[in-house]
Structure formats: C-alpha cells, structure tokens
Amino acid sequence: MAVVAFGSVSRVGFGKSDTHIFFGSGFAFPSKRLSVSSKAFKSMAALTAAPAVGISETFDRLRKRGQIYWVALIPYITAGDPDLPTTAEALKVLDSCGSDIIELGLPYSDPLADGPVIQAAATRSLARGTNFDAVISMLREVLPQLSCPVSLFSYYNPILKRGIGKFMTIIKDAGVQGLVVPDVPLEETEILRMESSKNNIELVLLTTPTTPTDRMKSIVSASEGFVYLVSSVGVTGTRTNVSSRVQTLLQDIKQATSKPVAVGFGISKPEHVKQVAEWGADGVIVGSAMVKLLGEAKSPEEGLKELETFTKSLKAALI
C-alpha cells in the first residue's frame, strides 16, 4: 500500500494521481455479469453454519476464551481470482479452517494500496468479467453458510460510483459485516461512517507507521470493529520479516484505545503470525500469500487444497 504523508495528513493508498483518485477513473468493474455455478466445486466446508456475528462481537468472544485462539486470524482473498466459483469455495474453506474474520477484496483497475500479487489477481479477475453485481450474488449464496463475518476491501471510486448509501444497503443485504476503504483519508469518512452505521456495517480505518500520534488517536477513535495497523510503509506483499517497530506501534495504539488492533501488510508466514501475536496484536491479516496460492495454483482444486493447508498452519501458530 502506498503510504504518503501530506504535511500532518497521512493518507493511505495515494500515488501520483492522488488528486484524481476519488473521481478520476470511475467504477472499474465491467458491465458483463457472471453466473456462479454451484457445480464447479464440491464444498470443502459444511453446507450450513450458525449465523455470522459482527466483527466487534467476534473479538469480544475471542477475548473471553482466554489463551487459546484469542488472536483473530483474518485472511484476505480477491473476489473472482481465479474465478467466482472458486472464491465461493475458498470462503468456505477459510471458514472451516478456523478463520475468525475474512476480508474479501473487490477487484479494481487502479489498486494503489496493493503490491504486485494482489494487483495481478485483480487484473485476472477483471479480465474474466468479474463485476460488483456478480460478487454480491455470490455472497448472498455463500455468506449464510459461513460462521465467521466477512468484511469487504474496496477502493473508494466503486463506492462513489454506485452511491455510498446504496452501496452500503446492497452489501448489508448480502450479509457483509464490515468494510475497509484504504484510499479515503479520515477527513472524508464522515458520510461513509454515517451510512455504514445506518446499515450496521463496521467501517475499519487504517493507521500507518508514518501517522502522527494525534492523528492516530483520531483514527482509532473513529474506527469500528478493529483498528487496522499497516505494518510497514509501502504496498501489500510478502516480506521476509515483520518490522520490530510494529511492537512499539501496537503499544502506542493500545495506550490510545481499548479497541482491538489487527496488523496487516507483509504477514505471510506462521512465524510472522506468532511473532505479531506475541507483540500484543488482537488480530493478524494475511493477504498476498493467500492470493498467490489461489492465483498461481495449477488448478482451482489444487489451489483450494493448498489454501486449506496454509490456513491451518497459520491457525496453529496462534495456539
């Protein structure tokens, strides 16, 4: 994720075209619709599950469990990569392997916050004709079968194009519980927060290593569900190590709020998950490593098997 500081304002997801990002390129999904086939893959998870709880409630439940699994595992995948039927099955696999919250990225043509792995996934997804309506149709089918909440990761332009209020109503009706918008600064979240609150969607805000302390306090005060701590300056992607500065950042945030804090960007191995949990994180977000497994597998079936094995290894690291 590109993290750019403008004076005292730290913005996430802005690049050279930051002055045009909200209104420049418009809604990125093609108009072609996809139908989600139920026969493409045999479900690797249970066909029915208890109704999903909200994000805040999920963290509350984890905290009451004590030492076992109290840190939330939050995987991220890109909708429509390699295709929507596989995404549907991947959501079930992630749920059945013990994921506590799942982030689902809406593919976008100008994903400034994302590194090469997720950018490539978005490109493949859009090339296959994935669009917002198809993703929502898939979610309406799948989310009732999951036991954990799903949060959408969407850039701001697609939301603006559809209309903030309408967007929130649509994702609420599909069963979505949360929303992350990486390229909108705090000053422009007022309407987003108002409309998300109306629809019981928890709007998660991001803070970064370059965010000034006073601004960080404002962000964590406004964030809902949890606070998303970006672990390093730059875009998403796997890294060899997690910066030790994350431990200090976690301490600073926890002095400012009692809300859960989840760390993302560069978390790609069981040892990363274990380290960040030991530093005091309430949740760990793993994205590029998940996306790579699904996008680069020899077949969708193989990708799902690899996803299952990897997710279980991450969960085991939290014991």
Which sign, positive or negative, has the C-alpha torsion 168, 174, 176, 180? negative
- pLDDT digit of tens for each residue in the chain (319 aa)? 333 332 333 333 333 333 332 223 333 333 333 434 433 433 333 344 445 689 999 999 998 876 555 899 999 999 999 999 999 999 999 999 999 999 999 999 987 767 899 999 999 999 999 999 999 999 999 999 999 999 999 999 999 999 999 999 999 999 999 999 999 999 999 999 999 999 999 999 999 999 999 999 999 999 999 999 998 754 454 445 687 889 999 999 999 999 999 999 889 999 999 999 999 999 999 999 999 999 999 999 999 999 999 999 999 999 7
Write down the H helix ranges in 97-180: 116-127, 132-142, 156-162, 164-174
Three-class DSSP category at 31: coil
What pLDDT does 4 receive?
Answer: 35
DSSP class of residue 91? H
Q: Residue for token digits 């194009």?
A: 161
In angstroms, the first-to-last Cα distance of the chain is 29
Copy the structure tokens of residue 82: 């390699």
Separation of alpha carbons 193 and 190, rounded Å: 5
Copy the structure tokens of residue 62: 């984890």
What pLDDT does 240 receive?
Answer: 56
Copy the structure tokens of residue 245: 């500065």
Q: Give the residue from 312, 267, 318, 314 showing the smallest Cα distance to 45.
A: 312
Asked if 227 and 106 touch (Cβ cutoff 8 Å), the reply is no
Residue 74 pairs with which residues in a beta bridge?
285
In our burial notation (b when 16+ CB lie closer than 10 A, e otherwise), range 51-65 reads ebbbbbebbeebeee
What pLDDT does 88 receive?
Answer: 98
User: What is 45-87 written as a DSSP string?
Assistant: S-S--PPPPPHHHHHHHHHHTTTTT-SEEEEEEETTSS-HHHH
Asked if 117 and 136 touch (Cβ cutoff 8 Å), the reply is no
Residues serving a catalytic function are 103, 114
Q: Give the residue from 143, 3, 75 showing the smallest Cα distance to 313.
A: 75
| Helix, strand, coil in percent for the chain, rounding step 5 | 45, 15, 45
Three-class DSSP category at 286: strand
Copy the structure tokens of residue 239: 């890294």
What pLDDT does 10 receive?
Answer: 37
What pLDDT does 303 receive?
Answer: 98
> What is the reported pTM?
0.83
What pLDDT does 43 receive?
Answer: 38
What pLDDT does 241 receive?
Answer: 67
